[in-house]
Structure 1
Amino acid sequence: MDRSTRNSLNTNKRSGQADTPNEFQPSTPGSSRFRYQLIEDVEDLGGYCPGGYHPLKVGDDLDEGRYRIVDKLGYGGYSTIWLARDLRRARYVTVKVLTAYSSAHTTEAKIMRSIQARRLVRAKRLFRFSSMNSGLPAPMEDTNVSQHLVQFPESINNYSTPEPYNKFGEPRSETVIRVDYMPFSDGVPAQVYIPGWYGIRSNDLPLGKDHIILGDFGQSFNPHTTSIFSSKTLPHLQPPETRFSDKPLSFPSDIWTLACTIWEVYGQRPFFEVFWATADRVATEQVEALGILPPEWWTK
């Protein structure tokens, strides 16, 4: 599940072009995230605003009644992810609901189509629907985009809707409370859901029976056609060129992040372990571990 860092939209001074964001852009000045009582393990409640998250609850129907929301699976900086029952095909699917703003700017669907033939990821079906948080003027921004892809064992499709609750537990929700006791704005849900868990422990997974799926391409881009100069990867995974180079990011940046990720998986701790990561602290860790940066970067 995607947990991208909350980087703000800003104009890239080197290229004269704005970075293309994949997260909501609140329509009113200032942050609204501190209006609500903190609820852990859920999306930023300030994101329920024009251009932001679509409020969903268990039992809601999407795509003209085809998909019924069963439980929440996760969330990111620009989407929420849900377990749903495809009533037409009698199977369970995951549904990724993008924010209204990001649905107009994301290149994820285009990337998915370009790599689908290579069998790197399973096909997704996309559909659009109106949302009370779709408050932006452009036609593409008047809708949210939802995607689904099947990632569950086939046996789960034999369960009727109540049966997964018996095996994995009932959906858990928390009431949303405004700390200033003011009325809720339109588009803010009365309750939010804690992501459920529908997997098995790694120690219980038979060797060779694991099945890895590449399923999140929200930040993906084609460096041959798109110039990106900033990274929304977690700060301790970002390569130094995201800060010091004037050139757009490309495949070497992916190799750096992949290497750091592999290290973290095998070593069970990050290679660059920074508490409350900032650009300066991450750069310090990089230099301490690998030595002084190349001269053209070191002078910066």
Structure 2
Amino acid sequence: MSQRTYAPSTSTFAEDPDRYRKDGLHPLVIGDIINNGRYRIMHKLGSGSFATIWLCRDTSEHRYVSVKVLSGESSLDCKEIQILEAITTTTVAHKGREFVVQLLDHFVIDGPNGKHWCLVTKVAGSRLERKPGLPYNSLEWPRVASLQVAEALAFLHTLGIAHGDCYTSNVLFQLQYFDEWSEEEVYACMGQPNKHPVRRLDGQPRGGNAPEYTVDPGDVVALEQRLPTDKIILIDLGAAFYHGEDLDHIWTPAPHSAPEIVFGGDLTYQVDKWAFGCLLYELCADHTLVKLLFGWNNDAMKDQVAMLGKPPSALWKNWEARDKYFHPDGTPKEAQGRRLKVKPLPLKQRVMNLDKPLSERDYGTGDEAPLPPHLQDLYDLLEGIITYDAKARLSFDEILSHPFFSGARTPKI
């Protein structure tokens, strides 16, 4: 592990100051003006390993925008830019277009840590999650929300683009128009920027590679409560790829990763369908379809086998740890030492559990009783998506026309 340059942040919400280094993040603070005076930094919206995201005032168009500043590690022939431009400029008419992020502007900053792409988009709200207060067995809102995600993915796939990282953190709520708000109104809603000074551990002057301070994200939830909609937007095309690309990895989080990702198989655009099925179940159940104890691919493989049984040999042979948990036929072994026994929990039982409070959901076999009518359509849809055979997964046209979505209407702003 390399030696630290800067003291760790006192905040768990701000980025690590050590990310400000050569080819790392670009130093910005509140009030900075970028792109020849056009965008003024007002607040932090978020940060990640490879970018910071800022609420800015577009002084040319008199509107609020989100500006994502990529790290210097992102090449200037960045595929994300190419894909966003293709999405924004296409003449293809598709309903799902309104649910996919559109590029308003893009430019490059040449800073002390390298050259950084800046992506300008509309401001969005918080991540997609099941609304608090919904009855545990209510499917109507999850139906409407997931329909929009399916429309968004269908639009991308019409363009020959796979998202590659579709899960709830990359689906945000859209906001109503608020460009007429004064900056004082924005701060009154989101809170004043909470700043954390950056200092070097060796006591030397900070220098220009890091900002004077880091900033906690503003209260986007409060902004969303003032500007509520049920309309979503699919964001972050950083892991997107074109159909037919030869891939050696996909960075989808393990709970949403298709079997071909976690076991090691042919990586294709079909991974988006599995990820959509996981997202759909998560909105209905208020927890992930695939359960992980420690967040590792190993846990994902165990639970996929617990749900679907033994995978095809092309996947099964790639899992070196399989013999610790399963017999050759895919049935679980008894636990040994500190290892936990895998309990079978078929997909049907996971759907059946949605009719019970969280505290009463159990294992079973999934065959004890028929599903109630309101869960049967959901199970039929998931069964067509959550399958080891990537080529057998339903197309997005088949997903959108499935009876589960019958009568559902996407909302308008």
Q: TM-score, normalised by structure 1?
A: 0.77
Cα distance in 1, alignment partners of residues 305 and 226 from structure 2:
40
Name the counterpart of 2:304.
286
Cα distance in 1, alignment partners of residues 241 and 178 from structure 2:
34
1:36 aligns with 2:7: yes
1:99 aligns with 2:117: no
1:149 aligns with 2:169: no
**Structure 1 residues 177, 288: closer, same or farther in 2, change over 3 A?**
farther
Cα distance in 1, alignment partners of residues 287 and 226 from structure 2:
22
Of the candidates 108, 112, 125, which is equivalent to residue 105 of structure 2? 125
* Partner SS state of residue 85, structure 2: helix
Cα distance in 1, alignment partners of residues 5 and 249 from structure 2:
27
**Structure 1 residues 269, 53: closer, same or farther in 2, change over 3 A?**
same
Cα distance in 1, alignment partners of residues 227 and 178 from structure 2:
17
Name the counterpart of 1:64.
36
Name the counterpart of 1:217.
237
What amino acid is aligned across from residue 274 of structure 1 in structure 2? L
Cα distance in 2, alignment partners of residues 43 and 110 from structure 1:
27
C-alpha displacement at 1:155, in angstroms? 4.5
C-alpha displacement at 1:183, in angstroms? 5.3
Q: Deviations over 1:14-34 (max 9, x none)?
A: xxxxxxxxxxxxxxxx44569
Cα distance in 2, alignment partners of residues 32 and 237 from structure 1:
34
**Structure 1 residues 150, 246: closer, same or farther in 2, change over 3 A?**
closer
What amino acid is aligned across from residue 227 of structure 1 in structure 2? D
Higher helix share: 2
**Structure 1 residues 218, 80: closer, same or farther in 2, change over 3 A?**
same
Q: Cα RMSD between the aligned structures?
A: 2.6
C-alpha displacement at 1:297, in angstroms? 1.7
Name the counterpart of 2:276.
258
1:231 aligns with 2:202: no
1:86 aligns with 2:58: yes
Cα distance in 2, alignment partners of residues 202 and 155 from structure 1:
11
Name the counterpart of 1:22.
none
What amino acid is aligned across from residue 196 of structure 1 in structure 2? G
* Partner SS state of residue 54, structure 2: strand
C-alpha displacement at 1:186, in angstroms? 4.1
* Partner SS state of residue 146, structure 1: strand
C-alpha displacement at 1:289, in angstroms? 2.3
Cα distance in 2, alignment partners of residues 275 and 33 from structure 1:
30
Q: Deviations over 1:206-241 (max 9, x none)?
A: 7xx4221223211101032x2212121112222221
1:299 aligns with 2:317: yes
What amino acid is aligned across from residue 123 of structure 1 in structure 2? L
Q: Deviations over 1:177-213 (max 9, x none)?
A: 555656546412231111112345989887xx42212
Cα distance in 2, alignment partners of residues 203 and 146 from structure 1:
28
Contact 2:65/2:120, CA 8 A, preserved across alignment: yes
**Structure 1 residues 204, 175: closer, same or farther in 2, change over 3 A?**
closer
Cα distance in 2, alignment partners of residues 84 and 97 from structure 1:
12
Contact 2:101/2:121, CA 8 A, preserved across alignment: no
**Structure 1 residues 43, 100: closer, same or farther in 2, change over 3 A?**
same
Larger of the two Rg values belongs to structure: 2
- Runs of 5+ consecutive residues of structure 1 not aligned to the other structure: 1-29, 135-142
Cα distance in 2, alignment partners of residues 182 and 263 from structure 1:
52
* Partner SS state of residue 242, structure 2: coil
Identity within the alignment, %: 30
Q: Deviations over 1:104-125 (max 9, x none)?
A: 3631111112222243443321
Q: Deviations over 1:130-167 (max 9, x none)?
A: 11111xxxxxxxx2110111236564211222221122
Question: How many residue pairs end up in the alignment?
Answer: 259
Contact 1:33/1:45, CA 8 A, preserved across alignment: no
Cα distance in 2, alignment partners of residues 181 and 266 from structure 1:
52
Contact 1:33/1:47, CA 8 A, preserved across alignment: no
Contact 2:8/2:16, CA 8 A, preserved across alignment: no
Contact 1:128/1:145, CA 8 A, preserved across alignment: yes
Q: TM-score, normalised by structure 2?
A: 0.57
* Partner SS state of residue 54, structure 1: coil
* Partner SS state of residue 234, structure 2: coil
In terms of mean alpha carbon deviation, does 80-89 or 212-221 score higher?
Answer: 212-221
Contact 2:189/2:223, CA 8 A, preserved across alignment: no
* Partner SS state of residue 163, structure 1: helix
**Structure 1 residues 298, 124: closer, same or farther in 2, change over 3 A?**
same
Contact 2:189/2:222, CA 8 A, preserved across alignment: no
- Runs of 5+ consecutive residues of structure 2 not aligned to the other structure: 125-174, 319-413
**Structure 1 residues 101, 287: closer, same or farther in 2, change over 3 A?**
same
* Partner SS state of residue 296, structure 1: helix
**Structure 1 residues 154, 294: closer, same or farther in 2, change over 3 A?**
closer
